[in-house]
Structure 1
């Protein structure tokens, strides 16, 4: 492994977090009383001053699972998951789907955001249990403090987040929908034979309410600092909460170019800029705050992800080169050759983004690349693993 230093946003984040932690500690207790456990604390966890990013990877051939801590460069092996073919995360837990079942892992790294302050935790990673199968196809996860929703071709499963945090897998609902997004204490359910987006209780029961705007052919979902987003055949549905009421508006695709709808939404967790492939034509980029799309005419992509407002959109092309683009203009700002073009067998590589680094897995080379996307895609480190990281997600958010 080659070493590199993180600076800029990470250092600023550390300084702010240190002040926050000091403020939280001051509220916790007195000399006569033991300090109360901080919000989000789980027994055995250590609270830290900065985010604890971890990469969780699985080899689809032998099912081996490993957790890489970029800060220490340590790799921890977990129980294998034979038949793993897709992966997703809710920020702490990792879900490996085999088609017949979903194995649930605890990465041991997570963030608790209270709006005015944030807590960061680390603990030993481990295996939690197993949830029912969600069918074939890419596994998707979206969650908040109350629930995590897993979805694939077989339909969604709603898991109790508090139970997950305590090491239990508890399925609370199985809505009839193509896409389900937990938001504002409710579930937004799209599809299931209709274009309307239904508002459900957290247990999956009906509220007899629907959003004012429909979402035909729902595809992709995300929760950002500016609200929830559902990808639709005619654009994106943007949902916000105001005085306990949900408001929806549509961000339609522009008339030109003639490109297919986005096939998913990928971004740095929480960031209000999203990106997704537009088939063989290029990449769609959505600015949630402006409710506007930008098209990147770059041809087919293996993976895409958006870093955030005024930050690059990263596109991994079929030639194995990683490019960064301006999210507002669609112009390319940097390009670097990274891996050999995949042969088409197995899962495509992924691009995962945190506050100042991006990670790309290279299964053929048994490696993961760390890049500084704020420095013209400078290759900061290469992690040589000795195992194939066919599937990769990043946790700690």
Structure 2
């Protein structure tokens, strides 16, 4: 039996114990067996099947735009179609947002998890290519924790267009913009919060300097602002949304008409560079922030505090699992994956070099992703056509080496 299936089946007990609560099918799609879908408050969508375990897949996009899905439980593959050649991708655990010459092309993997706090619901529907959102320049894409509620934010730096997409519409196969706001061009962010979003505003030099909350109608909410010099990097946890700033981060909590923007400053004695990119297991309160190469920032959104994890070798990627052991998974500049324990800072495992040095010292690094879920980490080797599945709880053991038929220049783990 596939060992990934054994691990993935564990949440089934939790689901049954706690839950009281159209496009043509691509080649290779097989409708799953299902239970009765839950109500709309549980992430159900008309035509989707609720299933007993998370439908974990890897979506791979190659350099020419071919898109495929690899079932991590059954090893079957599905060809989804083609987008324009991508320069980057972002995923929320269901959709893949591919930046191309056309704009942002959206792939719906058709598999997702609804986080209900103390338990989860799992769904599967027909995957599809949904279409394109146009704008000026390569946008920053910010996702939320739920694929059937809230929104997805896009900021186009050349045109200054701030766009908030409606996730409920996306889940029905429709691209609908809640708002599109024109701001001065800058390297901005649109970070979903409730039904609206936090949007950066620039200073006179065109650098992000402050944050403003906009309602779903695209109206700025008075009193919902915060300073955020050189704002870059965002992530949404179950506690709230995070935006990185030069002197710390702003944590945005609350819903509806009263979001709270709270500064979480770096410790007074901190000498490390500010975090500019955040990664973590989807929805977890503690996130890893990549700044300089000498270590990793850990931000606890629950405790409103930072912890610095120094590393003896330069790191280029880091992600927080935020499990009971506090695993932190990193990638160094020699292509090795390391596992650290957050509480002690001790290294718990390391792999041999998995990526060639050329991948780590060129623009190819932009396509390398290190994704974590509750049991595994996934690292793509774009030039080798491989994806490494790593058991971080077992001293960074390579559990499987996957070879998708679509070259994994970009990957995303979906079904989470």
The alignment yields a C-alpha RMSD, in angstroms, of: 2.6
Contact 2:300 2:306 in 1 (8 A): yes
TM-fit CA distance, 1:7: 5.0
Which of 189, 192, 204 matches 2:202? Answer: 192
Q: Does 2:27 align with 1:14? A: no
2:79 maps to 77
Which of 150, 170, 175 is 2:154 aligned to?
150
What's 1:32 paired with?
none
Conserved 8 A contact 1:277-1:300:
no
Q: Does 1:324 align with 2:328?
A: no
1:378 is aligned to 397
Q: Distance in 2 between matches of 1:260 and 1:286?
A: 14
| Deviates further, 293-302 or 98-107 | 293-302
Shift of 1:351: 0.7
Structure 1 position 369, deviation (Å) = 1.0
Deviation at 1:66, TM superposition (A): 1.1
Contact 1:142/1:148, CA 8 A, preserved across alignment? yes
Task: Give unmatched runs, 5+ long, in structure 2.
Answer: 22-35
Equivalent residue, structure 2, for 1:277: 290
Residue 365 (structure 1) aligned with residue 367 (structure 2): no
Between the aligned partners of 1:48 and 1:77, the Cα distance in structure 2 is 22
Point out where structure 1 has 5 or more consecutive residues left out of the alignment.
Answer: 25-34
Partner residue in 1 for 2:32: none
- Assess if the C-alpha contact under 8 Å between 1:183 and 1:228 holds in 2: yes
Matched residue, 2:316: 302
Provide TM-score, normalisation by structure 2: 0.84
Separation in 2 of the partners of 1:5 and 1:118?
18
1:252 Cα deviation after fit: 1.6
Seen in structure 2, the aligned counterparts of structure 1 residues 19 and 327 have a Cα distance that, compared at 3 Å, is same
Q: How far off its partner does 1:137 sit? A: 6.4
CA 99–339 in structure 1, closer or farther in 2 if over 3 Å, else same: same
Deviations 1:232-259 (A, max 9, x none): 1100112222896333332222344522
Equivalent-residue separation in structure 2 for 1:297 and 1:270 (angstroms): 24
| Aligned mate of 1:110, from 109, 112, 117 | 112
Q: Note the 1:1-397 alignment, pairs <5 A.
A: 3-5=2-4, 10-21=8-19, 23-24=20-21, 38-39=39-40, 40-60=43-63, 62-115=64-117, 117-133=119-135, 135-136=137-138, 139-142=141-144, 144=146, 145-151=149-155, 153-154=157-158, 155=160, 156-175=162-181, 176=183, 178-193=188-203, 195-211=209-225, 213-241=226-254, 245-298=258-311, 299-309=313-323, 310-343=325-358, 344-346=362-364, 347-397=366-416
Q: Evaluate the alpha carbon distance shift between residue 153 and residue 74 of structure 1 in structure 2; reply closer, same or farther with a 3 A threshold.
A: farther
Distance 2:12 2:51 in 1: 9
Provide the TM-score with structure 1 as the length reference. 0.87
Distance 1:308 1:245, change over 3 A: same
Give the distance between the partners of 1:128 and 1:50, measured in 2 at CA: 25
Task: From the superposition, tell whether residues 196 and 138 of structure 1 become closer, same or farther in structure 2 (CA, over 3 Å).
Answer: closer
Contact 1:69 1:75 (8 Å CA) reproduced: yes
Residue 199 of structure 1 and its aligned partner are, at CA, apart by 1.8
**Distance in structure 1 (CA, Å) of the matches to 2:284 and 2:132:** 30
Q: 1:361, 1:368 within 8 Å by CA — same for their partners in 2?
A: yes
Q: Residues 342 and 349 from structure 1, CA distance in 2 versus in 1: closer, same or farther, beyond 3 angstroms?
A: farther
